[in-house]
Structure 1
Amino acid sequence: MTIKVLVVGATGATGKHVVQMMLDAGHEVVAIARSKESMLQKLKDDKASHDKLEIREASIMEMKQEELVEVTKDCNFVVSCLGHNMSFKGMYLQDRKLVTEAAKRLTKAMPSSCKFILMGSDGVAHHGVDPPRSNLEGFIIFMLRYLVPPHADNEGVAAYLLGDTSFDWVTVRPTNLVNEEEATGKYNVTEKVEVSLFGDQTVSRNNVAHFMVELMTKKETFSKYLHKMPVVVDIPEDKPSTK
């Protein structure tokens, strides 16, 4: 069955992989991007797959609600890979609630049959599921909340989703993100944070995208993590995956 997905944050370092992987699998993608040219530059030069791609040149926060209703009406999934540009302007001068407000607008616009997938962060706790933070971790998170607006935004969107189970959603929490050439498929997914947040574990953006695509293309995977905040971590080549 062909899936239709709306991707916001589509030109970002992870979003572009979600778009490409869904196109490679023969699915339909609507990407919201400020620049069509920029979006196309991040994808393979493949006319066949581009025939299944629709690019809406817009800023998600500048679109009217009725436009969001129209663009999501036929979608099976909405994926948000939005994030803040980690520059002074991106963190302190732009919309400090970008991710939270975009999620609210999108989930209110999409049809009831549509499912929402958010790219979050393992720096945000799933209260009642994750083990308690150490005193050091708790102090650092407290400081980040007030000194780094993107972290507070990530906490805000998590609280919004955890407080509303009237629609289907999954929040994907990657650990420390790194860039790799391609997805290896060698990663673990757990329902809670299992190691220190400030350890040396990493996950490639490609593998995060790979897991998000699995959530869309494998019903049993989405059902397993429905209304949960799974953590994604790369694993060494010689160890088995527990996905």
Structure 2
Amino acid sequence: MKIAVIGATGATGRKVVERALDLGHEVIAVARRPEVITPTARLSVRQGDVLDMPSMAEALVDTDMVISCLGPSGNFSQGTVISEGISSIRKNFSPGTTMSVGITNILAACESAGVKRFVMQSGIGLSDGKELSVLNRLAIHISGRIFTKAVEDKAVAEHAVQQSELNWVIVRPPALSDTAATSKYAAGPLIRISPLRPLSFADCADCLVRAATNEPTWIRKIINVGR
């Protein structure tokens, strides 16, 4: 299968590319700055800006499915634990409209390019918490009150996906960490997970690739993934 990965230079996106290649798929990494990605066997790179729908439509031509690992960008220097932490906090407090506008453009690009299967990485913070424990419901509620703008922007994006005619899957992980893959995670509609237990980027990536290439019962459903 030919999988386009949007957000391929991000922490989850890089792992999605790796996992899809490991499973033998052909991967198209879509990036605003394609020069930062080195093409390899079964990996090609195309330029595409999620804020520019025509460029995205061109980037998605002749692909079977799309996985979006899109997230808000930050302006802090990378490379240290402190800078990464500050950047993460900043992006949640002031996310802009990258998700809401970007996902809307990606959906239009999918339709223009004839792509039917679309997987979106979202977050457990969008859950209403009914499937979770009382403590975890409280954690999501508090997080939502702190990161209101980020939740609102991502909620617009999720709504656009659910209103589309695509065979979509929305995947909601908890906080993510740069730890080793375990393959020991739970995933499914209304699966009870803990938003307080981080999931590795690699395990989240594995779930996203599963959602794109397997799991027919996940189509047009919201999937919780975590531990």
- Candidates 190, 195, 210, aligned match of 2:188: 190
Task: Specify which of 105, 115, 118 is matched with residue 116 of structure 1.
Answer: 118
- In 1, Cα distance between the equivalents of 2:62 and 2:209? 18
Q: What is aligned with 2:3?
A: 5
- Specify whether residues 19 and 102 from structure 1 end up closer, same or farther in structure 2 by C-alpha distance, changes over 3 A only: same
Distance 1:143 1:92 in 2: 11
Alpha-carbon spacing, 1:137–1:89, altered in 2? closer, same or farther (3 Å): closer
Q: Distance in 2 between matches of 1:131 and 1:165?
A: 27
Q: How far apart are residue 98 of structure 1 and its match?
A: 0.6
Aligned to 2:23: 25
1:136 CA drift (Å) = 4.1
Give the share of equivalent positions with the same residue, in percent: 26
Structure with bigger helix share is 2
Per-residue Cα deviation, 1:171-222 (whole angstroms, up to 9, x for no partner): 11112211123x322111131252564x3x221110111111122332xx1x
Q: Does 2:58 correspond to 1:70?
A: yes
Residue of structure 1 aligned with 2:209, choices 203, 206, 213: 213
- Judged with a 3 Å threshold, the aligned counterparts in structure 2 of structure 1 residues 145 and 155 are, in CA distance, closer, same or farther, namely farther
Q: Is the alpha carbon distance of 1:196 and 1:214 closer, same or farther for their aligned partners in structure 2, counting shifts above 3 Å?
A: closer
Change (3 A) 1:56 1:188: same
Task: Check the 8 A contact 2:194/2:226 in 1, yes or no.
Answer: no
Tell me the equivalent position of 1:240: none
- The alignment covers a number of residue pairs equal to 211
Give the TM-score of the pair, scaled to structure 2.
0.79
Q: Tell which structure's C-alpha radius of gyration is larger.
A: 1
Q: CA RMSD in A?
A: 2.8
What is the Cα deviation at residue 97 of structure 1? 1.5
- Residues 1-243 of structure 1 aligned to structure 2 (within 5 Å): 3-40=1-38, 50-61=40-51, 63=52, 65-84=53-72, 85=74, 87=87, 90=91, 96-110=96-110, 111-125=113-127, 130=131, 136-137=138-139, 139-146=141-148, 149-162=149-162, 164-181=163-180, 183-192=181-190, 194=192, 197=195, 199=196, 201-218=197-214, 221=215, 223-234=216-227
